[in-house]
Amino acid sequence: MIPFNKPYITGKEIGYITDAVNTGKISGNGKYTRLAQTFFEQKYGIKKALLTTSCTDALEMCALLLEIQPGDEVIMPSYTFVSTANAFMLRGAKIVFTDSRIDHPGMDEDTVESLITQKTKAIVVVHYAGVACDMDRIMELADRYGITVVEDAAHSINSFYSSKKGTRTPLGSIGHLATFSFHETKNISSGEGGLLAINDERYAYRAEIIWEKGTNRASFFRGEVNKYGWVDLGSSFLPSEVTAAFLWAQLEQLDDIQSKRIQIWERYYRHLSGKVEKFGIRLPSIPDFAMNNGHMFYLIASDDNQRDYLLQSLKKAGILAVFHYLSLHKSDFFCHKHDGRELAAADLYTDNLVRLPLYYELTEDQQTEVIGHVLRALELVNA
Ligand SMILES: *Cc1c(COP(=O)(O)O)cnc(C)c1O
């Protein structure tokens, strides 16, 4: 059996967790939380990083920080995870979905401007598979219309955007706010976990308060105030030191994990390109302003029959390949709230995308088996 994903354990996790337990401080915002936050601030130039219990929580913090009110509009792609939308709907926002690009499942930047109204408060971009959206264009629009940009960077650790000016900027450091995920399905994991990146100083002070249940407890512990109390809305968004200690073991091995995943990705690409196209299948295409961070390898089948056939025949061979998002504008919960615009590319990825196994411990033999089965299945059906 080859699973779709296998969470990777570096071997240092238990040691760091034991250390956290032995210090006697296992609630949040201790040594390991600070190590992890500083890592993101220094490596990626994020102004202020706050660990959260999930990317979902970090997105909910964004909605609180932006003071989203009922009726405010938030633009985001339909082809994304439910949390991207839920976080803002919880505050009463009206979600305005964009289509995906033709060449890539990420947001179609061309359509964003036409969706902006007086009520638009935020644009949430999703760097699908860790592949950047065109951030120069999005930031220019946001500037011009006075809108805030949130990057849902759940897939995007250690990925970069190349600006036309020639600069290479880490994803998650460009938008006013950004969110990362350390769910076990992501490149770096703490089981459940996430991080809020604050790149616009205006949000830094309130972010820490919202994070600490609406209190100025963090200021108190730094000795900036002599008592702490209830000063704003908030919730319990910070993870325990046990989670942070686990995460620290993973972050220490980031470079190794990334290079292994990219190596697997590139091997899929090399062995499938030139062979699957004659069956109408497309391989991932990466716009020239983006790069691949080895988060996900996918194929785009020519239709849903071919996609389902591929999933089934791989399953029979003991290989778990999976489809991905179901476009949110057609979901049971949202279809009656959608404004009726057709989002054809999002629907195409919903119906036709297949993700192949990709995890640190996938061996070369196993990968050869996956590649062989994909090619054999395609040849059989056309024989
Ligand atoms: C995984 C994911 C999330 C949610 O992450 P959690 O850490 O599980 O809350 C949000 N957005 C996208 C695009 C994701 O892939």
Residue 319 pairs with which residues in a beta bridge?
A: 2
Judge: domain 13-252, CATH 3.40.640.10.
yes
Ligand 1 atom at minimum distance from 193 CA: 7
Closest atom of ligand 1 to 186 CA is 1
Q: 241-252 vs 254-272: helix axis angle to the nearest 10?
A: 60
- What are the pLDDT digits (tens) for 83-96? 999 999 999 999 99
Query: Which amino acid residue places its CA nearest to atom 5 of ligand 1?
Result: 55
For 254-381, which CATH class? Answer: alpha beta
Contact between 59 and 150 (Cβ < 8 Å)? yes
Our mutation pick for probing the ligand 1 site, out of 57, 89, 181, counting the most ligand atoms within 8 A of Cβ, is 181
* Whether the Cβ atoms of residue 64 and residue 207 lie closer than 8 Å to each other: no
CA distance 88 to 214: 19
CB 157 within 8 A of CB 180: yes
Q: Which residue has the tokens 């690009």?
A: 101
Per-residue model confidence (pLDDT) at position 383: 58
Output the pLDDT for position 199: 98
The amino acid sitting at 198 is I
> For 102-106, which contacts have Cβ atoms below 8 Å and span 24 or more sequence positions?
102/345, 103/285, 103/287, 104/128, 104/131, 104/284, 104/285, 104/286, 104/287, 105/79, 105/129, 105/345, 105/346, 105/349, 105/353, 106/77, 106/131, 106/132, 106/133
Q: Answer whether 122's CB lies under 8 Å from 66's CB.
A: yes
* pLDDT at res. 165: 85
Per-residue pLDDT reduced to its tens digit, 159-183: 999 998 889 999 999 999 999 999 9
Per-residue model confidence as pLDDT tens for the chain (383 residues)? 999 999 999 999 999 999 999 999 999 999 999 999 999 999 999 999 999 999 999 999 999 999 999 999 999 999 999 999 999 999 999 999 999 999 999 999 999 999 999 999 999 999 999 999 999 999 999 999 999 999 999 999 999 999 988 899 999 999 999 999 999 999 999 999 999 999 999 999 999 999 999 999 989 988 999 999 999 999 999 999 999 999 999 999 999 999 999 999 999 999 999 999 999 999 999 999 999 999 999 999 999 999 999 999 999 999 999 999 999 999 999 999 999 999 999 999 999 999 999 999 999 999 999 999 999 999 988 65
pTM of this prediction?
0.97
Encoded tokens for 186: 């992501």
Q: How far is the CA of 124 from the centre of ligand 1 (A)?
A: 13
- Joined together, the tokens standing for residue 268 give 């899929």
Give me the residue spans of the domains in the chain: 13-252, 254-381
DSSP codes, 67-114? T--TT-EEEEESSS-HHHHHHHHTTTPEEEEEPBPSSSSSB-GGGHHH
Residue 199: closest CA among 356, 358, 50, 352: 50
Atom of ligand 1 nearest to the CA of 126: 13
Pick from 55, 89, 293 the residue to mutate for probing ligand 1's pocket: most ligand atoms within 8 Å of its CB. Answer: 55
Decide if 87 contacts 60 (C-beta within 8 A).
yes
Query: Which atom of ligand 1 lies at the shortest distance from residue 57's CA?
Result: 9
Q: For ligand 1, which residues put their CB under 6 angstroms from it?
A: 54-56, 80-81, 83-84, 126, 152, 154-155, 181, 183, 194
- Give the ranges where the chain is alpha helix by DSSP (H): 13-22, 31-44, 55-65, 82-89, 112-115, 135-145, 204-211, 217-221, 241-252, 254-272, 304-316, 344-352, 364-382
